[in-house]
Structure 1
Amino acid sequence: MKRKMYDYLVEWKKRTNGTSALLVQGARRVGKSYIVEEFAKAEYKSYILIDFNKADEAVKDIFLHDLDNMDILFQKLSTLYNKKLYPRESLIIFDEVQLFPRARSAIKYLVEDGRYDYIETGSFISIRKNVEGILIPSEEDTVNMYPMDFEEFLWALDNDTMYPLIVECFNNRKPLGQALHRKAMDLFRLYLIVGGMPQAVKTYADTKDFDSVDTVKRRILKLYREDIRKHAIGYEMKVEAIFDEIPSQLQNHNQHFKLSSLEKGARFDNYRDAMFWLSDAMIVNNCYNSTEPNIGLNLNRDRTLLKCYMGDTGLLISHCFDEKGIVSEEIYKKLLLGKLEVDLGMIMENIVAQMFTASGHKLFFYANSSRDDAEARMEIDFLIAKSKISNRHNISPIEVKSGKNYTLSSLKKFIRRYNQQLHTPYVLHTSDLKVEDDIVYLPLYMTSLL
């Protein structure tokens, strides 16, 4: 399936011309290996794919013993994989490189040699045990790969016309109009419930069967649990407890993840490594409380107060509705029609967090629970900085609304209190685009364009 990462890989090849390797990292099953191999097939005369999940000791020994003689090293690789290599026209792929960190360390010498291009793919790349004892190569660029975004999802459904219209209307601050907006929201809800994991998207595109889609997603959730038990050594029980608690925390609209629900008297210090493990594995997207909505949201980050969103909203839905082990066709159809008798706020917040993350935003929210000052007491779902920073008016507060009837009391308090710091305030909702009282109301499917 068509992915935007392909264009990035083409640009990387042209820009670097062999002067650096590229590390493509992301959660399991987001399509890293697939897109890199498709790129290799189309853009190079030949390629070797070394899958360290399968590579035998003969392959690993090459990186342990032959780095001092590159001619021998490449001859051995070419023979083992029965692939002829051509200087400046061949690519060597290190797939699942986290399983053999010494190969990653060897990138320094391979790039210096200059004969071929190198791409590494992997998950859990920054997990401590995957970098211990190796030299992280400075000759390595890194790019994050995420689940399919809304535009890629539409491509998978052979719809190439809807998203350009959405972009055009966003740029001109014009509504789509009733009929087209309804169609766009129907497609967006479909994206919401299927999610962006390529296997789930392909299954839907091929079968249109929600039960089959959910089976795929449950396999991925099972894989994540197995990864937690395998890789979160020393605190796997804490990681799994947080993972299981995510739906409940989001459903309760907590201002931050409440550890007390996991263990009475639990302290953040005791769960910090578990929290960050899930984020490093890119299974979740952490959103931090920024205590001051000003330039450098990260400078005012409270690392102990965070929200925990699933990296893929389709997986969140399967994670939420798991009483029978599978989300029934009926639940999916009710979600698609917006008629499920549950608060959809958490699902909408999660998809916004997912879309912001894929667009390159760090996630921040604002919460003040003052007991003494009602005017100061407020919570804003997300804060983002504008692309070109100036002396004032840099931060946009964003509220996410899943229903048609809602109030904006926190947003209006926030505007009054921080007027000098604010750029455009936004409300992301299920209705069409409008501008009212200097607040821009955007349909949820425009989130990625902010």
Structure 2
Amino acid sequence: MKLLRRKIDHYLKEWKESEHRMPLIVKGARQVGKTASIMQFAHDNYEHVIAINFVFQPKYKAIFEEGYEVDSIVRNLTLIDPSLQFEPGKTLVFFDEMQECPACATCLKAFKIDGRYDVICSGSLMGINYHEIESNSVGYKEDYTMHSMDFEEFLWAKGYDAAFVEHLYEKMVTVTPLSNIEMEVLEGLFREYMTIGGMPAVVNMFISNNNYSGTLKLQRQLLLDYEEDITKYAQGFDKGKIKNVYDHISVFLGQDNKKFLISKIAHGARNREYVGTVEWLRDAGIINVCYCLAQVSLPLKGNYNPKSYKLYYKDTGLLVASLDEESQEDMRVNKNYGTYKGAIYENVVGDMLVKQGYNLYFYRNEKSTLEMDFFIRDTQSLIPVEVKATDHASRLLSKLTAHDGKYPDIRYGIKLCNKNIGFNGQFYTFPYFLTFLLKRFVKR
């Protein structure tokens, strides 16, 4: 299997070069490529790699029985496996699948103070009581959240380099339309990305086979694995209720307003019975939550209704895999992505925004006469982002960006659709596939 280039690769190199680096915890949903990237980095940068997987090697959980001092841990590790070599300054200790042994986080302070060996921890967020881990290692760890592959990483996997991405970015900042061939090729690549998503195993299979053969089966297995993990790790919650929420995400995305309503997922379901279920799925890295703003103004945090939200899959390929076979056939064969009422486009845009570090917010007033898919911000203003599955006029975006004083925090907007780059004095138009560059564009 081809080793895919990932953005964490650069992050790990910078971490290694930092004089004051701390033990690192790489967080993320299962199967997003954490272990593969860390192991490749480890073997490229250290003479000795001590890789402990608490799922496959449960015997190593005992290394903390005598305490969390470094010498005690090293002594117990070498007692279990005498071949392990620890050389100061040249050794990385990698604790993988830490959700099976969260106590390993308690040793991070000791490793940081000791300073002889570097440490990376990783594991599925589903099984990690992260609040407990934070309290055990506050001030002595560094966090990195890893997602499935974004569109830029997908372009790398398809053979496109950094210079090509910079070319696209320059087109955006100079508001220069792409050529016809650029539009055609990139739209095709983006359709592929929407269909298969960014799970590394699926991307690898797609690129290796140069077709969709086997990808749907693998995606559906990942969905089943997530359901199995819900059953395994959702401690303290009604696992049936969590699974009920998870199973209904695509149902609500298929409706016109896409708002998720607990009262509609089961007969007699009440919000108070489902407290914490959505948050658990979010914290486990399975879904993205988009909250409704209380009003169209800054700030974003603190200006939203926590009881009004839309739910999206973290990976759009998994959303596609969750649909009925007729919808998938329409997308894969007919390349028709508008039949699912814009859900696919909204989901992929939301995911691309999250992968750039944004939280998700939308707006809809009580009468549904004014609504907007997403809002982001720069240092000075609020920016409405409209996702158009069709090329119809953007009446509501025009209303929000009218400069008539009704929305003083808004200076301009962004429309994402199947159209070329442009600006009409009120909002920028970008093709969907450029969404991954929005944060850079907004900052500039």
- Equivalent residues, number: 430
CA distance in 1, matches of 2:12, 2:290: 29
| Counterpart in the other structure of 2:398 | 412
CA distance in 1, matches of 2:419, 2:169: 16
Decide whether aligned partners of structure 1 residues 151 and 143 sit closer, same or farther in structure 2, where only a CA change above 3 A counts. Answer: same
Q: Is the counterpart of residue 398 in structure 1 residue 385 in structure 2?
A: yes
Q: Is the 8 A contact 1:126 1:280 kept in 2?
A: no
CA distance in 1, matches of 2:72, 2:338: 65
Letter in 2 for 1:310: Y
Letter in 1 for 2:55: N
Deviation of residue 340 (structure 1)? 5.7
Deviation of residue 55 (structure 1)? 2.0
Deviation of residue 236 (structure 1)? 1.0
Alignment TM-score, normalising by the size of structure 2 = 0.91
Three-state SS of the structure 2 residue aligned to 1:315 is helix
Q: Is the 8 A contact 1:99 1:130 kept in 2?
A: no
CA distance in 2, matches of 1:141, 1:239: 30
Deviation of residue 446 (structure 1)? 1.1
Letter in 1 for 2:365: N
- After superposing the two structures, state which structure 1 stretch, 150-159 or 127-136, moved more: 127-136
CA distance in 1, matches of 2:216, 2:206: 10
Counterpart of 1:369 (choices 363, 366, 369) is: 366
Three-state SS of the structure 2 residue aligned to 1:65 is coil
Deviation of residue 46 (structure 1)? 1.4
Letter in 2 for 1:191: Y
Counterpart of 2:175 (choices 170, 173, 176) is: 173
CA distance in 2, matches of 1:94, 1:267: 41
- After superposing the two structures, state which structure 1 stretch, 21-30 or 82-91, moved more: 82-91
CA distance in 2, matches of 1:133, 1:166: 39
Q: Is the 8 A contact 1:127 1:280 kept in 2?
A: no
Three-state SS of the structure 2 residue aligned to 1:289 is strand
Cα offsets for 1:328-362 (capped at 9, x unmatched): 5x75232xx3x367235110000000000000001
CA distance in 2, matches of 1:6, 1:287: 29
- After superposing the two structures, state which structure 1 stretch, 86-95 or 247-256, moved more: 247-256
Cα offsets for 1:277-316 (capped at 9, x unmatched): 1101111000111113333201112100011000000110
Alignment TM-score, normalising by the size of structure 1 = 0.90
Letter in 2 for 1:11: E
CA distance in 2, matches of 1:219, 1:130: 30
Three-state SS of the structure 2 residue aligned to 1:287 is strand
CA distance in 2, matches of 1:130, 1:436: 47
| Counterpart in the other structure of 1:135 | 136
Three-state SS of the structure 2 residue aligned to 1:146 is coil
Residue pairs, 1:19-418, within 5 angstroms:
20-57=22-59, 59-68=60-69, 70-78=70-78, 80-81=80-81, 82-124=83-125, 128=129, 131=132, 135-160=136-161, 162-233=164-235, 234-254=237-257, 256-322=259-325, 331-334=331-334, 337=335, 339=336, 342-370=339-367, 377-386=369-378, 389-390=379-380, 394-404=381-391, 406-416=392-402, 418=406
CA distance in 2, matches of 1:231, 1:133: 19
Counterpart of 1:425 (choices 402, 408, 413) is: 413
Q: Is the 8 A contact 1:433 1:443 kept in 2?
A: yes
- After superposing the two structures, state which structure 1 stretch, 429-438 or 350-359, moved more: 429-438
Deviation of residue 3 (structure 1)? 0.3
Q: Is the 8 A contact 1:148 1:198 kept in 2?
A: yes
Deviation of residue 98 (structure 1)? 1.3
Decide whether aligned partners of structure 1 residues 45 and 429 sit closer, same or farther in structure 2, where only a CA change above 3 A counts. Answer: same
| Counterpart in the other structure of 1:374 | none
Decide whether aligned partners of structure 1 residues 382 and 235 sit closer, same or farther in structure 2, where only a CA change above 3 A counts. Answer: same
CA distance in 2, matches of 1:289, 1:15: 40
Q: Is the 8 A contact 1:101 1:130 kept in 2?
A: no
